[in-house]
Structure 1
């Protein structure tokens, strides 16, 4: 496998993290989860359980990016860079959390004094910079951002904020959220898996379903075939959320469509790039975090930031199918998307942020009336794992992006209509199918687990799955998409 090789700029904060992460590498494994070993040494079984339950499994920080609005255009690049620095600070603090477990056992205040306290001070400096950059560019920064500097340690037995929507049942045995799966990675754990047969049919929240469900409105479809990343394009950048920042995602992405995808790609780069799509008028970029089988395989990124150095380990599984389909709106016609419209669906930080923006949907072939948001499905023999992402389908009619990368688009209301001031655009559904060996869950442990890549402090939770899209269709193709959908045709 390969990855984008464009020369990259590395901010000082990420250089510090790279050095710290390199210290965590040893042989073929990692010590991101060293606390599991230290918590299990020199204790009786009863004390081992109590000690592990008392541990702080991860770090939960307020998401500053979701609280920012109205950033002047000329300050947006600087603000995005500062937000990426906040992410890097959390990653660095999480790495310190997981490599100081013995010190924590001897000092009840260690986490507060040596991890969370310094993190709060570093975050305060960056938040002050964000406020200053917004004000200098003629905007008005929210004074309340100062309240977002402090982070908390989340105990291993504390569930994610807000709970998961529509999980249709409980998986695992109620074990805590910070257990080791035996591969030296902080998750997934047994409680993150559920037998697809235990998920209730049609139980998932319908808010994020296809906008065109029903008999009225614009009922056509347009399907674009862009392959399954046969060119092996991978990197740990995020062009939408962290433009210009090397390793801005802290996890590895799969790419199909546009062939010039990294943090430094301009709109002109995207417009002039090649595409893996069969229709060469579609240079859109479609990307998502890779799925991995935690089987001990040392991938090409085993020692890299975004990969093994940040807890994303094991064999990368490319989808065997990647269906990219656009549908309409059940209340009426759709209008063309503007070129370079950017949409993120789901939230890579849902485990600590809560599920307000979560949009993960997991299932198995043959069981797709059973969708689960906060568990990985265990599929029966002959059935494959399915990841589905239904994107926002309402556009504000003005902006191709927004300061928090969300408020320029929206989901339809319960009645299928777009919110006031928004227009219906073709809705993208990405359906990915994988051949995944079924994990074995027994006695509170999981063997042969699979997991989505993510920020290390998110513990590989399934609810953190997300998907990204930048529209780079030429005008003729976008008009064809709109006509097909509005005329009730099924086109490719």
Structure 2
């Protein structure tokens, strides 16, 4: 089994470097002499990181037309977080087993319904009550024996946190861009209200890559994407680019498995037969991270913080009039 390492706490350091760049040292995530600690392969590993300058240019994600509409919803300055997921595990507390950041609807949790979201407040402009959420990113600087011991002793009052192996300081995104983009081949139609979508696979490390959609890069390098954690040059921020499917079956707002009612377009941007193009949501999340391989996304324990597990969720709770504006901006080639 490949050796996975996390950043050591002070005093338990070993020398390390990556691709010739000076990097903080790594060591095993826990001290076996600590009572109750379990020295397990919790990840992430050095092999999960890549110098962004070594990623070939060319991949920029899902193709889109020029028109777009950006919903401005803040970056979760109010600290709306929980480890629920009302789309995948409705009616369950801690159903995600990792912590989500939320923007948009102020009431989103595991027990949310279409009706409760429609009645909720929002951080977005123009009454966009949609629910936008993704797993938090954490600094792993200083993670060591104390945190490992905590993760070995599950605690019900820490849902999605140390009891699940998700340790370290949560990083607040420096910016959150929620952009609805046009289709390069056809005009788009309105999303139905309460449309639910997911992108990526939170269990991709064990499920395989069929539904994986992780896209990482750095500011200044957005013409290249990678499924590994990017190591960015000084002054550059880490970016998570989360593209959602945008070809709707024209009937359903959800489906079993949450993946067949809205699918991704083909490589040329065209939607499959029997589907129609809707505005394509792209979330771009920017972070300032500690230098070196010292950060990780929250995950299910068995996923070991693999960067390929990055994912996000969305439920459309825009007023119909606002969605009409979105469609108009996109189809007219405007940037709104």
- Whether 1:377 and 2:230 are equivalent positions in the alignment is yes
Match of 1:470 in 2: 315
Residues 331/342 of structure 1: CA separation in 2 closer, same or farther (3 Å cut):
same
Q: CA deviation at 1:296?
A: 3.9
Matched, 1:200 2:47: no
Q: How far apart are residue 157 of structure 1 and its match? A: 7.2
**Pairwise CA distance, 1:356:** 0.7
Q: Secondary structure at the match of 2:256?
A: coil
Provide the aligned length of Structure 1 versus Structure 2.
299
- The answer for the alignment partner of 1:335 in structure 2 is 189
1:157-213 C-alpha deviation (Å, 9 max, x unpaired)? 79xxxxxxxxxxxx969xxxxxx85334711111111111111111x3x6x41332x
Q: Which residue of 2 is the match for residue 459 of structure 1?
A: 304
1:257 equivalent in alignment to 2:101: no
Higher RCO (CA 8 Å, separation ≥ 6 residues): 2
Query: Structure 2: which 5+ runs fail to align?
Result: 5-16, 20-25, 31-40
Query: Could you tell me how far apart the structure 2 residues matched to 1:411 and 1:484 are?
Result: 21
Q: What do the CA deviations read for 1:273-303 (whole angstroms, capped 9, x no partner)?
A: 00001222x000100000001124799x985
Tell me if structure 2 keeps the 8 A contact 1:292–1:451: yes
Aligned pairs for 1:172-183 (under 5 A) are: 181-183=27-29
Q: Structure 1: how far apart are the matches of 2:310 and 2:83?
A: 15
Distance (whole Å) between structure 2 residues aligned to residue 188 and residue 291 of structure 1: 13
Once the two structures are superposed, the pairs formed by residues 70-81 of structure 1 within 5 Å of their partners are none
**What SS class does the counterpart of residue 352 from structure 1 fall into?**
helix
Q: Which residue of 2 aligns with 1:433?
A: 286
Task: Name the CA distance, whole Å, in 2 between partners of 1:484 and 1:422.
Answer: 21
Out of 323, 328, 335, the position equivalent to 1:483 is: 328
8 Å CA contact 2:104, 2:124 repeated in 1: yes
C-alpha deviations, 1:233-263, integer Å up to 9, x for none?
Answer: 1100011100011111110000000011111
- C-alpha contact (below 8 Å) 1:244/1:263 kept by paired residues: yes
Q: Secondary structure at the match of 1:404?
A: helix
In structure 2, the residue corresponding to 1:344 is in which secondary structure? strand
Deviation at 1:266, TM superposition (A): 1.2
Shift in Å at residue 370 of structure 1?
Answer: 1.8
Inter-partner Cα distance in structure 1 for 2:322 and 2:261: 23
Asked if residue 409 in structure 1 is aligned to residue 262 in structure 2, the reply is yes
Greater Rg over alpha carbons, structure? 1
Residue number in structure 1 paired with 2:75 = 228
Larger strand fraction of residues: 2
Say if 1:478 and 1:294 are closer, same or farther in 2 by CA, change over 3 A.
same
Cα shift at 1:345: 0.3
Unaligned runs of 5+ in 1: 1-154, 159-170, 174-179, 213-218, 441-448
Counterpart in 1 of 2:131?
285
Q: How is 1:70-149 mapped onto 2 (pairs within 5 angstroms)?
A: none
Aligned to 2:161: 307
3-state SS of the aligned residue for 1:481?
helix
Report if the CA contact (8 A) 2:63-2:184 is conserved. no
**What is the distance in 2 between the residues matched to 1:181 and 1:429?**
36
